[in-house]
Amino acid sequence: MEKQLPNPPKVGMVSLGCPKALVDSERILTKLRADGYALSPDYDQADVVLVNTCGFLDSAKAESLEAIGEAIAENGRVIVTGCMGNEADVIRARFPDVLAVTGPHQYEAVVGAVHEAAPWQHSPYLDLVPEAGLKLTPRHYSYLKISEGCNHRCAFCIIPSIRGDLASRRVDAVLREAERLVAAGTKELLVISQDTSAYGVDLKHRAFPWKGGEVRTHMTDLARELGRLGAWVRLHYVYPYPHVDQVIPLMAEGLVTPYLDIPFQHASPSVLKAMKRPANEAKVLERLRGWRDICPDIAVRSSFVVGFPGESEADFQYLLDWLDEAQLDRVGAFKFEPVAGAAANALPDPVPEEVKQDRYERIMAKCADISAAKLRAKIGRTLDVILDAVDEDGGATGRSKADAPEIDGNVLLRDAAGHAPGDIIPVLVEDADEHDLYGVPVAR
């Protein structure tokens, strides 16, 4: 007699915010899939919808509330999680019909809420999960979260009050996850946290057994071991602590992708002091020169806040001059927003909105000029490129080692027929603009 398979409940997911939140979404979906739930690509078919929110800026909170409202309007059965989940009273006041509200990285609470909202009994025929878990990114790259929380108390940031102090994962657990991801097809590992350089501080850099030896819970040791797995290893959210210098030789050796994402935030000593950030901009310039001596191809990206309370025109000009010297490869900027609960809100001398906008436009123009010059210098070189998409007409979009997905530029290819997403191929750079390279595949 033919076996009639049951139809499991379907779960929809809206994931907002940073890559760390995306990893949270992946973990939640992996657990639900392991419990037998199916996934729905749209509101109509979902028995319940999860909205993973962001609460870092007021604009992000507004986007989160809008997403919750849309999910309720389109489906009606909504569970809210993520950083804005810490403001459950705000969410319930606006949307009293939400089924449950949980905070960031509260995986068990989220899964429990789904079980309650859409009960499901396990089925040996349907409880199947891919070896690497469920992913919201393409198969060929994966975010690897190594810790939660942060020990910094920057005046503009409320992340520690949302996610708590630094809590590092065991290094052997991180490496096992990375091995599984690479075995499942990951070609690029993007290491993320709130403060990657501080990894293991809370564990006193304890060593754990690994491959017949021991590995410390430390950024340098982790980067070295990840590099031995054969994938690109890209380091994000790296504060420029002294031991970061030890990672640069690993980049020169080819073990680690020559790319550092460093959140400088500003350069003016007075603004950095008001932000409660390390004010050592001159030493940073010296170290940047040293890093480039060791690894000439290193790409450094960063983000900056303009219009922080008390930022004078002289402070802003100091930042522009510093950027001329630093010659960062990739830069993002955002205008200061007074986030509820941030210490910066109480600072005197707020910067008018029109001044913030003017400074934002000036810093972006400055960095676009720097980027254009750096990219023009790559014309005629052959670079390894990982492909993200290939068109039917033979065009393709990829990234060099200097480009992280979603936040940096692309390499746009012609004559790429026969290749597939995830392929890493040599590309001759033929042209460049302010943010992207243009090229053609060549024989290795």
Closest CA to 329 of 273, 262, 374: 374
Contacts of 338 (CB under 8 A, 6+ apart): 58, 344, 345, 350
Closest CA to 277 of 318, 308, 320: 308
Q: What is the spatial distance between Cα 428 and Cα 417, in angstroms, rounded to a whole number?
A: 16
Percent helix, percent strand, percent coil in the chain, to nearest 5: 35, 20, 40
DSSP output for 230-284 = TSEEEE-S----GGGGGGHHHHHHTSS-SEEE---B---HHHHHHHT----HHHH
Beta strands in 236-329 (DSSP E): 259-261, 299-306
**DSSP classification of residue 202:** G
Tell me the binding residues for [4Fe-4S] cluster. 18, 54, 83, 150, 154, 157
Q: What is the spatial distance between Cα 92 and Cα 98, in angstroms, rounded to a whole number?
A: 7
Q: What is the spatial distance between Cα 54 and Cα 39, in angstroms, rounded to a whole number?
A: 22
Contacts of 361 (CB under 8 A, 6+ apart): none
Tell me the binding residues. 18, 54, 83, 150, 154, 157
Order of strands, sheet of 330-335, starting from the edge strand that comes earlier in the sequence? 141-145, 188-192, 232-235, 259-261, 299-306, 330-335
Helices 353-376/313-326 angle, 10° precision: 10
Instruction: Give ∠ CA 260-215-130 in degrees, rounded to 5.
Output: 75
